[in-house]
Each structure stands twice: as structure tokens, then as C-alpha cells.
Amino acid sequence: MENLKQKIRSGAPVVGFGARYSFAPDDFKKVAEQGIYDFAFTDSQHSPFSEDRLVRLAAMAADCGLPLHFRIKHTRNTHLIGNHLDLGPSGIEVPQVETVATVEEAVANFYYLPRGVRSHGGSHRIGDPSTGPQEYADWWNDYGVLWIQLESVAAVTSAYNLAKPGVDCLSFGPADLQMDIDHGGHPGLQTVDDCVAHAVGELEGTETAVCFRSGDPEHRQRYLDMGVRVILENAKI
């Protein structure tokens, strides 16, 4: 059975839902039983966060057979990616990325040798941490999912350069992106959808997919038709 990383790389549509920090095990179970979601997502950039709660959320998701994706608090926190992953999530999103240097640091801290420099350890890691260090590293390097979030026109116009090897998705922060559009302006990128279409075109033929927070499931097909391959929605419980 293909994992989430493999499914994204295959070009198949992938849909996830937002899991609030208040989610209880029954909430996860109700959403998972709908059978329409491939992963869960939780956030620390704009939400309360504790390491203990992340461990519990990751365990809830795993009990339901769903990988948990986690957005870190700040662009400059890429050095903590390994620590977050040791707590159980299956993937990481880095917000407000503008530079290739940030992407390279994220990739390095996300992957183990020989692809990165992530430190080996952590009893709450997803998968089987009892395996040998390199065996686990090889498994993780083919399993973990890394998103880089675009939240400005400058980032969108750099999409191709930011899609470094090891980046599974370029995701969108539509609220911040809209504010940047309103205050800056670009002759060819007047709307968030213009930016999405630009990124889809830039990434054609690469291994990196475009992810969009469509929110309402009613918008899912419109973005899939635009070439978006990963959709993040608000779950209905």
C-alpha cells in the first residue's frame, strides 16, 4: 500500500482535514470513518501548542490510520523540525518561506543521512523506532512529507526555485497572500487563484505538488481542475 508521500508523487488527488488542538479521540474517529481523507493537519503557527498535545494528537491520528501533518510556529524554527518529528507527526509545513536558504535548511533538518542531518532518536516517532538507525532513516526518507508554504507574491514567483529536491508540496497561505497582493501588486498575479495557477505551471514536470487550503469541500473540485493535487479542508463532525 502506498504511503502519503508516494501518493502525492504519483499525482493522485490527496485530501486532508484540519484537526484542532481540542480534538478528542472520538472526533478523529468520526472524521476518519467518513473515508474521504488521506491525512490530518494541525497547526502551531496560529494555535495554542504544547509538545505533549502534539504527541497525543499524533497518536490519535495513528490509531485511525491517518498521518498527521504539523505546521511549525515560525519560518526561523526550521532548526526544530527534527525535534517536532520526534513527537509523532508524519510531516511538517514551514510557513512564510521566501528564500532558497530557508528551504535548504528545512530539507536538511527534515531528512536523515544521506539526504539530511536530522538527529536519530525519539520514542514517539512515527513508524518503528526499534529498528536500527540507518534502517529507520531509509524508511523515513521515503515516508515523511515536507511542505513549504508560499504567502507572498515574491514567494509565488520563486516557486520553481523553492521546489528543491525533498520538498513534496508548495502550499498556499491564502489570507496572507491576499494581503500581500492588495498591498503590493503584480501585473500578472492579481488574485490568489492567479498565484495558484502560476505555481501549478512552474511545477509541471517536477516531483513537487501544489497544496491549497480550500476550506469548504464544495471548492475541492475547482482547485483539482486547476492542477492542485493536495487539498486541505475543514472537517465536518
Residue 75: in which H helix or E strand, if any? Answer: none
Q: How confident is the model at residue 1, as a pLDDT?
A: 78
Mean pLDDT, 10 residues at a time, the chain of 237 residues? 94 93 87 94 90 93 95 96 96 97 98 96 85 93 98 96 98 91 83 96 96 91 96 87
What CA–CA distance (Å, rounded) separates 57 from 62? 9
Q: How confident is the model at residue 131, as a pLDDT?
A: 86
Name the residue ranges covered by the structural domains of the chain. Answer: 4-233
Q: How confident is the model at residue 102, as a pLDDT?
A: 98
Q: How confident is the model at residue 76, as a pLDDT?
A: 94
**Full-prediction pTM beyond 0.75?**
yes
Q: Would you say the C-alpha torsion 153, 154, 157, 160 has a positive or negative sign?
A: negative
Q: How confident is the model at residue 54, as a pLDDT?
A: 93
- Cβ distance 10 to 1 under 8 Å? no
Residue 206 to residues 41, 100, 169: CA-CA distances in angstroms? Answer: 24, 17, 11
Q: How confident is the model at residue 47, as a pLDDT?
A: 86
Q: How confident is the model at residue 23, as a pLDDT?
A: 85
Q: Which CATH class, in words, describes the domain spanning 4-233? A: alpha beta
